[in-house]
Every structure is written in C-alpha cells, then in structure tokens.
Amino acid sequence: MVRGKALAHCGLVLLSLWLCIQSVPISVDKTKEIPHEELEPPQSADTGLHYDRYLREVIEYLEKDPHFKEKLKNANMDDIKLGKLSKELDFVHHNFRTKLDELKREEMNRLRMLIKVKQDIQGGNGRTVDHHALLKQFEHLNHLNPETFEVEDLDRLIKSATNDLENYDKDRHDEFKRYEMMKEHDRRERLKNMNEEDRKKEQQHYEEMRKKHASHPKVNHPGSQDQLKEVWQEADGMDPEDFDPKTFFKMHDSNGDGFFDESELEALFTKELEKVYNPENEEDDMIEMEEERLRMREHVMNEVDTNKDRLVSMSEFIAATKKQEFLEKDEWEVRARFCRKV
C-alpha cells in the first residue's frame, strides 16, 4: 500500500518534462559524434509503475541528447497523447538510439521472465492462465519488434505512463479500502476466538482507542489560509502576520523548479496530520494517515491546479490565495475509518 508519495508525484514530474517539448522537428547533424555512455541506474525517483525503471531510463537517456533537449519547451498534453512528440525520436543521435535499443531488450527479457513466473504460479495452483491480463504487461512497448526502440515504442510508453499515472490515485484508494476491509475482518476473527469475558474486554478497549483517536485538535482545511499560516509559523518559524504567499511558495518549492509537485504539496500537510496521527500511539494507523494525506493533496489539486497538469505553478498558487475558499474556516473532516490493528 504505502509506496506513498514517491509514486505518483515523481512519475508525474518526469512526465511533465514531456509537456515542454515542441512537436516541430529541428535540423540535426546525426553524424556528429557523442561520447559513449555506460548504462547507469536512473537518478529520478520511483514512479511506482511496474515498468518504472524502463520509463525513467528512457526519459533520462532522451534528455541526454542535446538536440532532443532543445525541444523541452512548449507542447501540451494533447500533442503528447496524439503521438506528435514520439516522432521526435527520429532526430535522436544514433548513440542514444543504440542505448534505447539496449534498454528495450532488457525490458523485454524482464517481462518474458515475469510472464513465465506468473504462468507457472497460475498453472501450479490449478488456475486458468489469463493470457489477456499477462499481455497487458507489454502495453508500454511494441513486443512484436523485440530488438529496436522505435517511434511506436516511445508513443506506447508515453501513453501507457500517462494513463497509468492518472489512474494511480484511484488504485491507491482502492488498495486502501481492501486494506481496511481485511483489517476489520482480522479483528472480528480474533474476537470470535475469544471467550466472552476477553471479548468484552477487547471491545471495551477498542472503543476507548476509537474515542482517543477521534479526540484531536482542529484540522485546518488543506490549502486554506489558516493551514498555510500554521506551516509558516510552526515549520518555518515566521510571524503569521507577515505571511506572504510568494515567499511561502519559494520556501516550499524544495527543488526550485517553480512548481509544487505532489510530493511538495503533501509535505505541507504534515502538521495537520500530526494532530490526528502519532506513530507511537496504539490507536493511530500510519496507513490511514497516508490515505488522509492523499485526500488532502487531491483536494488542493482540484482547487488550485487550473490547467490540470498535476503541478501547481506559482501563478496558480497566488491566484488560489485570492479566492474566497482560501479563507475557509471549517474543520477538515478526517474520513479514514478507525479500525485498530490486531
């Protein structure tokens, strides 16, 4: 469950690189030699996708091509989804194309091994092998051409990653619901195996823990003036009367790229979450805390991210602080259901 923050936001930050690529080809001297580079582990953060390493290595090698990097300017998501960006692969230097071929062959070998293991497990358990589900593992590349990385491979990779990352939060919510259901099931099974006296004691203890968990200070609405001022005062050591949205943004744009990505946004909610969850308390579940963090981030994104690129620019942030919603005084309702771990 807790692949947590590293997922979604970091993968989307990687994809946001594509949002800046123009679709008009440029003249490239492909005969100019570029030094040979060894394959190294990708430096960017894990996206959480099953083809994460392949995605990050492809992106990072394409960024190393000087002419491709020149295209990192002004395209939109529609251009990307229509495959206009993928055509730029024809202008990537042959040294990097060779590396991309190598990456694809490694990914093909990984997937073949993965498919074989899954088939062996399913067959060994007497289950019918779901070939359609297994083939979905290959959707991010053209498996009919296992040797070379072509325009279709880049197109498939972008479309698959875009779709998978857009649905990632939903998958996290669904996974959390399954976790909660299983936790409640385990608790009830434990009660069944107790005698009447122990069962009453356990139920009484459960109710005490539930009430203790529900007793916490007011949780400010995420993204509201009160919530941000609390961060400004308690985390930044600043006078709340001197709160300045532009300065606040710069202070919390940790990588200095001019945007709040999902990780940077989620970090802003730590003070609010600490009012409800404490890892040292028996009644507090840190998995529930991460579900609440996700809800807070989704709320702010829906309110502030006007162009829906899943990044918050300074202009979007400043505009949000001028809305009536910014003055929201109502307490944020913590929805993650209490169910003490057994």
Q: How far apart are CA 256 and CA 250, in angstroms?
A: 7
CB 79 within 8 A of CB 23: yes
pLDDT higher for 316 or 26? Answer: 316
pLDDT in tens, 135-190: 778 899 999 999 999 999 998 998 888 788 777 778 788 888 888 899 888 888 98
Residue 261: alpha-carbon gap to chain centroid: 10
pLDDT in tens, 33-46: 555 555 566 655 56
Q: Which H or E run contains 296?
A: helix 286-304
Give the best-scoring range by mean pLDDT among 8-12, 85-89, 338-342: 85-89
Residue in 184, 139, 29, 148 with CA at minimum distance from that of residue 91: 29
Q: How far apart are CA 47 and CA 165, in angstroms?
A: 8
CB 86 within 8 A of CB 41: no
CB 241 within 8 A of CB 196: no
pLDDT higher for 270 or 59? Answer: 270
Question: By mean pLDDT, which of 279-283, 305-309, 322-326 is the weakest?
Answer: 279-283
Other C-beta atoms lying within 10 Å of the C-beta of residue 248: 20
Measure CA of the first residue to CA of the last residue in the chain; give whole Å: 17
Q: Which H or E run contains 260?
A: strand 259-260
CB 187 within 8 A of CB 71: no
Other C-beta atoms lying within 10 Å of the C-beta of residue 118: 15
Q: What is the DSSP string of 310-340?
A: S-EEHHHHHHHTTSGGGG--SBPPP-SPP--
- Provide mean pLDDT across the span 109-135: 76
The pTM of the full predicted model, rounded to 2 decimals, is 0.60
Residue 258 has pLDDT above 60, yes or no: yes
What is the pairing mode between strands 259-260 and 312-313? antiparallel
* Domains, the chain, ordered by start: 5-166 (no CATH), 169-327 (1.10.238.10)
